[in-house]
Structures are given as C-alpha cells and as structure tokens.
Amino acid sequence: MSRWPFALAVPNINEETTTEFYFDTVIANYGVPSFWLTDRGSNFKSYYTHFFLKRLGCTPITTTAFRPQCNGQSENLNRNLCRTMAKLARDENNIQNWDKYLNKALMVLRTVAGEGTKYSPSVLLYGYQMVTPGIWSKPIEDFVEGEYDKEVELRTKYVYQELQRIREDARKNSDQAKAKAAIRYNKTAHPIPPFKIGDKVLLKVDSTETSKFADKWQGPFTVCKVNKSSGTYYIEGTVNKARIKDAVNGDKLKHFQESKFMVPDINTSAAFKHFRTWVDHRQRRSTTQ
C-alpha cells in the first residue's frame, strides 16, 4: 500500500543473501508480512528461502511465467531506482561506484509522491513527510510546561484519524490509476477462447530480450494441463515433449494454425545440407580440372 522501497547492494543473489536481506532489512524493522511476492529467480524459489519464510508464518508467492505485470510495482521500482542512481552517479562522474548512491536514491523515492497514490511513501507509512535538507526547520529547544503532553495528544489523534484518511484516499487514487491502466491494456488485448488439453499453441517471445529480426513467437507447443481458475497453462514441445517448467498466462499464447504448405525446419535443414554438399563437390571438380 505505502510503496515504501527497500534495496541493498550485495555481491551475489544466492538464497543465503536473500534471506539475510529479508530479515535484516524488512522483518527486523517492520515485522513479518502475510505473504511475499517475488519473480521466479532461483534464489526466491529455492527450498531454503521458502522454508525460511514459512517458518516465520509468511506465505511465499511467485509471479506467473512470462508475466512481469504480476509484480509491476517491483518492476517500476527497479526502473526508477536505477534511473535515480545513474543520475546521481553521472553528476559526480562516478559511475563505477554506483552503489555509493543507493541510499540517496532511496531517500528520493521515499519522499516523492507516487503517480497512482498521489502521496509519498513516507506520508503513507508514517503519516508525515520525511525531513530532508530542503525542508529543514529550526528545532524546538524546549517546551513550556504542558505543551509536550499536548503535542503527544495531537500526534496520537493524527495517527488514528488523519493518517487513516490519507491512506484511504491513496487507495482510492491507486484504484483509479489501475482502472485507467486496465482500460489502456484492454484496448490492445484481444480475448482468446480458452485453450484445451491437446491444443497446439505458439508462445509469445518477450520483445525486450530479442532483436527486431528475431521470431516473435516460439513453437508449436501442446497444451498438457489447464489451470482454469488462474487462466494459465502448462505446455510441452510437440516433437520432443520437453515441458516448460512453469505455467504460462493465456494472453502469451495463441492457437497454432497448421497448413499443408508449411515446410518443417528439419526438411529445410536437410535440403540446405544436400545443397552445400553439391556445391563443395562442384568446387573440388573445378580445382582438379
């Protein structure tokens, strides 16, 4: 809800480092969350990490395969954090030591109002804006008798009343932003009838990881299991029966339209090999003559 960012520069991202970050940075300061949503990295999915969280009473959850939107807030944080650190490092011409600017970048993100909530993470978590060099005020050196108790009373009232109002307002703003994003997404999304076990499908390739000339779809694959409640599918190779380990969201698939005019890759490869042999043979004959 608050979108309060956490980050730590580490030499590796194995399961031990991951659980240490969980405990030292989050749990020790804010308590055990009800669940923990991560991507499908091996350090997050390991038995060690899951055992650690479950023993604390926290449920580990992972995103759907090929579906980064499941953890969109984390993806946005990574992008904004990298941009902020890069700006700070470039200003001091010190890109090599980028980790030096991590805490400064986090302070920036914690005090900037979010596009969705319209409030900063600091306000949503603590009820007030963090004091930064830009808003420093003269400290109060002493209180007149009775003023301290009055300040505590006002602060307590604020935490129970005003902070609750701010969080409700932020949730409303966030829901409105999500609704607008859903409208934009639905304009380009085309509903596809549910796939059935045995259907041949193609899997969409992530455009950010391939060149503009690469194939946009992989396959064909065969649907071998259907999760109706989540709209995800398990698929396997049509020829070698190699199964993709994780379930795939339905909007990453489309029906494979087979045609009698299609030439299998194995046939074209064999034809090219035969042609290459013929060319080499002709070249050897020309050299001999």
CATH number of the domain at 244, please. 2.30.30.30
Q: Does 179 lie in the same domain as 38?
A: yes
Contacts (Cβ under 8 Å, ≥6 apart) of 16: 48
Q: What is the largest CA-CA distance in the chain?
A: 114
Q: Is residue 221 one of the residues assigned to a domain?
A: yes
Backbone phi, psi, residue 34, to 5°: -70, -40
Domain end point (choices 165, 185, 205): 185
For residue 86, the model assigns a pLDDT of: 87
For residue 151, the model assigns a pLDDT of: 63
For residue 269, the model assigns a pLDDT of: 55
Q: Does 86 lie in the same domain as 121?
A: yes
pTM: 0.55
Q: Does 200 lie in the same domain as 162?
A: no
How many structural domains does the chain have? 2
Q: Does 166 lie in the same domain as 63?
A: yes
Q: Is residue 288 one of the residues assigned to a domain?
A: no
Assigned token pair, 86: 């890069």
Q: Is 19 helix (H, G, I), strand (E, B) or coil?
A: helix
CB atoms within 10 A of CB 138: 5
253 to 190, 220, 241, 249: CA distances (angstroms): 11, 10, 18, 7
For residue 59, the model assigns a pLDDT of: 93
pLDDT mean values, one per 10 residues, the chain (289 residues): 86 90 91 88 89 92 74 81 87 87 87 79 80 59 60 64 75 80 72 80 70 70 83 78 76 77 54 67 67
Q: Does 161 lie in the same domain as 256?
A: no
For residue 196, the model assigns a pLDDT of: 86
Q: Does 116 lie in the same domain as 218?
A: no
In terms of residue numbers, what domain contains 260? 192-281
